[in-house]
Amino acid sequence: MVPAVLLVVVDQITKSLVVNNLPVHSSEALIEGFLNLVHVRNRGMAFGMLNGLSTNTASYILAAVSVIAVVAIILYAFKYSDGSQTTIFALSLILGGAVGNLIDRLRLGEVIDFIDFFIGSFHWPAFNAADSGITIGTFLIILSHLFRKKRA
């Protein structure tokens, strides 16, 4: 599961660079009208869901859910996976993303997000490298299953 380890390292390095070089709630345009580098904190889940949570209990619950997800991904990868390289790679990306965000939750009680993508009035919620790994891994698994069913 080398991709998982690499993703965790990249995720933590990029988050550290943001924390050390960009004040919280600030923004720098990388590609005008398309992509900003921001420094935001997310106490909730993906895409800012439950971001209004203010209690430590909620943070601990989300961290516990993350730990359960990490264990489930590892069990699935080794016990139930079809063994294809695509599936293993995809699960590795999901695992690395989950671990990257879990590290933030355990250290800070929140997740650092820094990629701000938008086109016109369409604005995607800020995200990070870990979120990207989870999204790409999930997309690969869906594609893999769709094409496997077509071939069968």
Active site residues: 113, 131
Q: Identify the H or E element spanning 23.
A: none
What pairing do the DSSP bridges indicate for beta strands 111-119 and 35-42? antiparallel
Residue type (1 letter), 94: I
97, 133 Cβ separation under 8 angstroms: yes
Distance, in Å, from the CA atom of 103 to the CA atom of 110, rounded to the nearest integer, reads 9
